[in-house]
Chain A
Amino acid sequence: MTEFKKIEENLKTEATRLLKEGLVTVVLAYGKGFDENHPMPYAAKTIADVENIVFNEYCNYNMARYLVRYPQGTKIAIAVKAADSRAVIQLIQEEKVKRENLVILGIPVQGMKNPKTGEIIDSKTTCGMYNPVLYDLLLGEEVHGAKSASPYDVLAEYEKMDKEARWEFWKKEFDKCIRCYACRKACPMCYCDPCFIDQSKPKWADKAPQSPGNMMYHLTRFHHLAGRCIDCGECSRACPVDIPLYLFHKKVAKECEEMFNQAAGMSIEDKPVLVDFRVEDSDKILE
């Protein structure tokens, strides 16, 4: 039995137990899609639903995305992988969900695949962690060793680029954007209702998929996720035109970590860096 199959079995057993004992009203996990390679996010609400749960190497969606869709106080069990658990922590920090209402089913994994390409996801495009940070139950064997050097290594190439070249690079990337907002839909941290881009009073940016509006949308979104992005890489995988959004998010996360000495979603005791301050913050960061 492969590791994935074992996790699936564990997931089903735990989901059945939690639902039967009435500890939770919904289990957020993965369900059958139109074929093996395309599982879907799935919410099991009854014991009969549990048999639809699947887990395989294509289950890369961040289920923390769906936590905020339930009213506060709903008891939820959620299946999380490494980055997803950080998203859950971040949502707890932001008081979107309460720790006591959650049963976190941790899944340590390695070698997830992207359903779009069928290839193994490069750990450079994600946070590079394999074990969940916070969990109540671990459903598989902990992955030892083998953490990629640093999640920010991939940035070096872009950081040493000339400013003009970098501008050209991003302009080209953002000009591809068709404003489908898949990045926003896939992101566990994008829960504003309405999103700034959907507001018409004030109208923050043009809604047409053209250069100025795209630039405004993406730059502001990066800003809104500063110090909150947990680097799951879902935005770039959801993107139909393959904009490497993860690069920018990583860069902002790196800067925030350097300036404020705190990475997003590592402890439920922390506060998100931009709604916090220290008197001893240096003015140097403004230079």
Chain B
Amino acid sequence: MSFEPKILGIACNWCTYTGADLAGTTRLKYPQNLRVVRVMCSSRINPSFIFRAFQLGADGVLVGGCHPGDCHYNTGNLYARRRLATTKKILEFAGFEPGRLRVEWISASEGNKFAEVVAEFTAQIRNLGPQAKLKIQE
């Protein structure tokens, strides 16, 4: 059976999630590998969510937030940017592929960008193959 990546999308309620909605209402096609979880702000994302997602079998994690400066809560995504950058560096030094975590700023009006990013990221994960390093083996 060919490899179908499982991708966790964590999207901010105000921008990326609405952007995903827009992608849907405008009937844009994007791969079905993404499972979206809505959070109120990208700074709600505890890095442990990401580690845990990888442990529970996600092949990639896509985090979406508002563009810096556009955060619904003014500064949330600026904290998230620092935090997630650190997460990436930690994964990298542990020897994990940092490419499996991607952070994108997608606004509510960027349905197109959402579809593009998902397509691109899915292709990228498909290239990387199944994630076996952090996944808990049964």
Contact = CB atoms under 8 A, between A and B. Distances in A.
Interface of A: 158-159, 163-171, 196, 204-205, 212, 215-216, 219-220, 222-223, 226-227, 248, 251-252, 255-256, 259-260, 273-279, 281, 283, 285-286
A215 B135 CA distance: 11
Contacts of A216: 48, 51-52, 55
A277 B81 CA distance: 9
A286 B103 contact: yes
Contacts of B32: none
Contact of B81 (A170, A220, A248, A281): A281
Contact of A167 (B48, B90, B94): B94
A259 B95 contact: no
Interface residues of B, number: 31
25 contacts: A165-B95, A166-B95, A167-B133, A169-B95, A196-B48, A212-B55, A215-B51, A215-B94, A219-B94, A223-B86, A226-B86, A248-B93, A251-B89, A252-B86, A255-B86, A256-B86, A259-B82, A259-B85, A276-B82, A277-B75, A277-B81, A279-B69, A281-B78, A283-B105, A285-B81
B44 interface: no
Given A204-B48, A216-B48, A216-B55, A252 B82 contact: no
Interface of B: 47-48, 51-52, 55, 68-69, 75, 78-79, 81-91, 93-97, 103, 105, 133-134, 136
A219 B94 CA distance: 8
A276 B86 CA distance: 13
Contacts, number: 99
Contact of A273 (B47, B51, B82, B90): B82
B110 to A, nearest CB: 15
| Residue in A164, A166, A277 whose Cβ sees the most chain B Cβ within 10 Å | A277
Nearest to B101: A286
A283 B88 CA distance: 13
Given A167-B94, A212-B55, A219-B51, A283 B81 contact: yes
B61 to A, nearest CB: 13
A274 B86 contact: yes
A166 B93 contact: yes
Given A163-B97, A215-B134, A285 B85 contact: yes
Contacts of B55: 205, 212, 215-216
